[in-house]
Structure 1
Amino acid sequence: MPSNAALRVQKHRLALRDAGLRPIQIWVPDTQAPGFFEECRRQSALVAAADRADNELMSFLDDSLADLDEA
């Protein structure tokens, strides 16, 4: 006989399926892997440098913010 916890999990999963959802499995980066944070910093620095160099992007963002302020 399943435990109370197993029954709760089963009930929860059935409710999700009844709501039109389905379970999926995805692979995500291992945040504990050696070098993970260094790689995050490296990629973040590249993105930040590209953003700073893109004057059109900054203009677009400023215009978008102004549009939000007017709304």
Structure 2
Amino acid sequence: MSSSVTRRVSKHRAGLRAAGMRPIQIWVPDTRRPGFAEECRRQSALTAESDAADKDLQDFMEAALAKMEGWTE
């Protein structure tokens, strides 16, 4: 990294800190990992199956959608 880029990044970070922000590191799942998409599908299917079996949730969702402006079936 060139020194001008380093200075610009340092200035930007100093401004963020002055605004009350702080840097953090966040670990997230690696979407490129083999099996990631399959695991997403598996979890989504389980969630959909569970949601479909929950009558109270279905009623809640229907009521919420009915209150949305412009909602039509």
Match of 1:23 in 2: 23
TM-score (normalised: structure 1): 0.81
Match of 2:36 in 1: 36
Match of 1:50 in 2: 50
CA RMSD after TM alignment: 1.5
Deviation of 1:67 after TM superposition, in Å, equals: 3.7
Higher-helix-fraction structure: 1
Separation in 2, partners of 1:62, 1:20: 42
TM-score (normalised: structure 2): 0.79
Match of 1:62 in 2: 62
Identical-pair percentage: 59
Runs of 4+ in 1 over 2 A off after TM superposition: 64-69
Deviation of 1:19 after TM superposition, in Å, equals: 1.1
2:18 partner letter: D
Separation in 2, partners of 1:62, 1:24: 39
Task: Give the count of matched residue pairs.
Answer: 68
2:36 partner letter: F
1:32 partner letter: R
